[in-house]
């Protein structure tokens, strides 16, 4: 199908982009992997598109003050292939490498992905496990939100009219941390039917730290503190892993659609959480 007519702007700097977005009738084009299909189906009909592709301030990946600052226009391939991300935050690189296909990873951006807030997207689980923050900017000023506050509901983020994601901030990872991102992929789209992102540390034969993010299971990605609590202080044995993973879908209002029923998603969430826990624990040093 053909989208409804719209005006197109391609600002060359951030101030120009924010000025164009200030009146509230424009949509941001930050890769277009979700927005363009919606426009073709006329499920979205913005009056104006503001393409951020030329805004250099929104690109790049840098380390500062114990954190990685990832510009919102960094593509999935930028993140997947970055030596800095691989060395300082390998979980995010692993998640990026699992997104869609080569074309999607070359065009899609981290800012566009999290702003779209798809409940089956790959980044949110990892960003929750990483306890990441999102820096938001507009013509009126800036604010920073923890990722769990940024993701509000299915296809709903905390962005207000005129605001854009400026960067994603993730802590530099300890070398002793084991990580894993495991997902059951929907073959046609590459989205996660369910996905689990895990960070763990061990000391003295015991699990001392665990963070678990889950995507695809519920209306939005979430951190499973129940799994974390059951795993911490254990030896991380196969039995410990199965016991912890078993509670991941407890009291969760699971999604049900043409790809998977709610009960199937709950079971697969247990399976893939266990796989992610086992692999992450095998990677601890």
pLDDT digits (tens, 9 = 90+) for 107-121: 999 999 999 999 999
Half-sphere exposure of 33 (CA within 13 A, CB side): 28
Confidence of residue 2 (pLDDT cuts 50, 70, 90): confident
Structural domain including 134 reads 56-171
Interval 59-72 mean pLDDT:
97
* Distance separating alpha carbons of residues 71 and 58, to the nearest angstrom: 5
Q: Are residues 23 and 69 in the same domain?
A: no
Assigned domain for 250 exists: yes
Q: Are residues 125 and 214 in the same domain?
A: no
pLDDT of residue 5: 94
Q: Based on the structure, what is the number of domains in the chain?
A: 3
Domain boundary among 171, 201, 225: 171
More confident position, 45 or 153: 153
Measured in residues, the chain has a length of: 285
Residues contacting 258, CB < 8 A, separation 6+: none
Assigned domain for 81 exists: yes
Instruction: Judge whether 218 and 196 are in contact, CB under 8 Å.
Output: no
Residue 41 has pLDDT above 80, yes or no: yes
* Distance separating alpha carbons of residues 258 and 277, to the nearest angstrom: 28
The reported pTM is 0.97
Interval 20-32 mean pLDDT:
90
CATH of the domain at 157: 3.30.465.10
pLDDT of residue 31: 95
| Residue that has been written with the tokens 């009126």 in this structure | 140
Instruction: Judge whether 76 and 110 are in contact, CB under 8 Å.
Output: yes
Domain boundary among 140, 171, 202: 171
Interval 58-73 mean pLDDT:
97
Residue 24 has pLDDT above 80, yes or no: no
Instruction: Judge whether 247 and 225 are in contact, CB under 8 Å.
Output: no
Mapping DSSP onto H, E and C, the string for 83-133 reads HHHHHHCHHHHHHHHCCCCHHHHHHCEHHHHHHHCCCCCCHHHHHHHCCCE
Q: Are residues 166 and 60 in the same domain?
A: yes
* Distance separating alpha carbons of residues 261 and 104, to the nearest angstrom: 27
Q: Are residues 248 and 167 in the same domain?
A: no
Residue 194 has pLDDT above 90, yes or no: yes
SS3 151: strand
- The residues facing 209 across adjacent strands are 201
* Distance separating alpha carbons of residues 194 and 171, to the nearest angstrom: 25
Q: Are residues 182 and 160 in the same domain?
A: no
């Amino acid at each position: 199908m053909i989208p409804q007519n719209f005006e197109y702007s391609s600002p060359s700097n951030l101030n120009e982009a924010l000025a164009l977005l200030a009146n509230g009738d424009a949509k941001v084009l930050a890769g277009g992997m979700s927005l363009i299909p919606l426009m073709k189906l006329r499920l979205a009909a913005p009056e104006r598109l503001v393409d951020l592709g030329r805004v250099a301030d929104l690109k790049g990946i840098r380390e500062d003050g114990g954190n990685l600052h990832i510009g919102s226009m960094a593509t999935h391939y930028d993140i997947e292939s970055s030596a800095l991300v691989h060395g300082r935050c390998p979980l995010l690189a692993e998640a990026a490498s699992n997104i869609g296909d080569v074309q999607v990873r070359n065009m899609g951006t981290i800012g566009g992905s999290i702003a779209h807030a798809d409940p089956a997207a790959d980044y949110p689980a990892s960003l929750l496990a990483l306890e990441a923050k999102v820096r938001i900017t507009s013509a009126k000023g800036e604010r920073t939100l923890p990722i769990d506050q940024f993701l509000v509901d299915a296809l709903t983020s905390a962005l207000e009219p005129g605001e854009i994601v400026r960067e994603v901030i993730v802590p530099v990872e300890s070398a002793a941390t084991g990580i894993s991102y495991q997902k059951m992929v929907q073959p046609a789209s590459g989205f996660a039917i369910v996905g689990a992102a895990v960070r763990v540390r061990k000391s003295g034969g015991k699990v001392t730290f665990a963070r678990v993010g889950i995507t695809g299971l519920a209306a939005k990605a979430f951190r499973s503190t129940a799994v974390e609590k059951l795993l911490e202080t254990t030896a991380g044995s196969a039995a410990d892993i199965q016991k912890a993973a078993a509670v991941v879908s407890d009291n969760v209002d699971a999604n049900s659609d043409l790809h998977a029923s709610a009960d199937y998603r709950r079971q697969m969430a247990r399976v893939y959480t266990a796989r992610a826990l086992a692999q992450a624990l095998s990677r601890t040093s």
